[in-house]
């Protein structure tokens, strides 16, 4: 029954979003498009954080790989979108599988540092390989199919792709695989005793996260008609990490809420002050000091107190 309610609620949300362009506000459509992309990006990272207990400081690497690969295949090589997008996503997943193979052999702090090191490597390649990536000028002028070249068409395309991505992640996280990951997160020693290959499970989770992070990056690049080295920088990884922490890592819905709240807050804050990094730091302090379980945890505590009263 709860799953049925979740399915109905999700369908209603998607339907309401599909009606958004009828309101006639391009600003709202564009803003929602980018929020949807970051929702998928945050959910992909939470496969690592929420389901394995590890922290990744370099998830922007797969975001950038997916974005650059899709942009290059579409524009430089003239591939159709039906081939370029899957190829970019697969490439991000394969790179994540290679990097994850080494990361999962390390303890948590070294795991985090290796993810950061790889992200900086990707940033360095994007910066130096100007002939391919455009370097610090970025890779711009991405060729888009006519059907989705208009902002409304691309909004619907993003809505479909993100909905499919979220649905796939929901199935993965609530499958036997996802439940086993939770067992590994809670007590890896005990999980190993009952026959779970904990290293293999974490490796698979890392690969899944990188794959969907690559999809988010590809959607981002097409939306902006360009990819830039900033998309691979550690600040991009930090921002999506804070999105996940803000929403709550032990809930599937948490990163969705965190991504939407933080991105909207950033958008409106930037209209009035150039000090968004300072605001972001304050948000991180609040999470650590007041909201260790995120906004979802806060809602649950309020409900629990209401039930007792």
Span 153-188, pLDDT tens digits: 999 999 999 999 999 999 999 999 999 999 988 888
- Please tell me which residue, 47 or 275, carries the higher pLDDT value: 47
CB 47 within 8 A of CB 212: yes
How many residues in the chain?
A: 309
Please count the other Cβ atoms lying within 10 Å of the Cβ belonging to residue 91: 21
Q: For residue 157, what are the CA distances in angstroms to 30, 127, 184? A: 12, 30, 36
Rounded CA-CA distance 273/89 in Å is 36
Return the number of other C-beta atoms located less than 10 Å from residue 104's C-beta. 20
287 contact partners, CB below 8 Å, separation of at least 6:
242, 245, 246, 294
Indicate whether 138 pLDDT > 80: yes
How do residues 25-48 score in pLDDT, each as one tens digit?
Answer: 899 999 999 999 999 999 999 999
Rounded Cα distance between 196 and 229, Å, is 39
- List phi, psi (to 5°) of 140: -115, 175
Domain boundaries, the chain: 25-233
Rounded Cα distance, 84 and 66, in Å: 10
Containing 149, the helix (H) or strand (E) segment is none
Looking at the DSSP bridge assignments, the partners of residue 226 are 140
Q: What is the mean pLDDT of the chain?
A: 91
Mean pLDDT for 230-243 is 93
pTM of the model: 0.94
Residue 268: per-residue pLDDT: 86
- Residue 1, pLDDT > 60, answer no
Residues 250, 50: contact at Cβ < 8 Å?
A: yes
Cα 57 to chain center, whole Å? 13
């Amino acid at each position: 029954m709860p799953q049925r309610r979740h399915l109905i609620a999700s369908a209603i949300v998607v339907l309401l979003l599909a009606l958004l362009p009828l309101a006639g506000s391009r600003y709202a459509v564009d803003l929602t498009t980018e929020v949807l992309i970051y929702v998928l990006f945050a959910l992909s990272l939470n496969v690592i954080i929420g389901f394995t207990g590890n922290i990744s400081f370099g998830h922007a690497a797969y975001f950038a790989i997916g974005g650059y690969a899709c942009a290059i295949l579409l524009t430089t090589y003239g591939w159709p979108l039906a081939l370029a997008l899957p190829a970019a996503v697969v490439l991000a997943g394969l790179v994540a599988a290679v990097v994850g193979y080494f990361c999962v052999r390390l303890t948590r702090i070294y795991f985090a540092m290796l993810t950061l090191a790889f992200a900086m490597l990707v940033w360095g390649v994007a910066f130096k390989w100007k002939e391919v990536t455009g370097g610090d000028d970025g890779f711009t002028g991405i060729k888009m199919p006519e059907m989705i070249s208009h902002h409304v068409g691309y909004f619907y395309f993003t809505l479909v792709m993100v909905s499919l991505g979220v649905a796939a992640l929901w199935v993965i996280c609530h499958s036997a695989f996802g439940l086993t990951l939770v067992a590994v997160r809670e007590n890896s020693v005990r999980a190993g005793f009952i026959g779970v290959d904990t290293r293999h499970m974490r490796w698979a989770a890392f690969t899944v996260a990188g794959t969907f992070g690559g999809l988010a990056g590809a959607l981002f690049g097409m939306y902006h008609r360009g990819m830039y080295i900033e998309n691979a920088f550690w600040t991009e990884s930090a921002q999506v990490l804070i999105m996940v922490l803000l929403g709550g890592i032990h809930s599937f819905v948490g990163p969705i809420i965190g991504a939407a709240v933080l991105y909207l807050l950033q958008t409106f804050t930037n209209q009035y002050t150039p000090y968004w990094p300072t605001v972001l730091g304050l948000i991180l302090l609040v999470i650590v000091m007041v909201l260790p379980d995120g906004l979802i945890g806060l809602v649950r505590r309020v409900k629990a107190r209401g039930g007792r009263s």
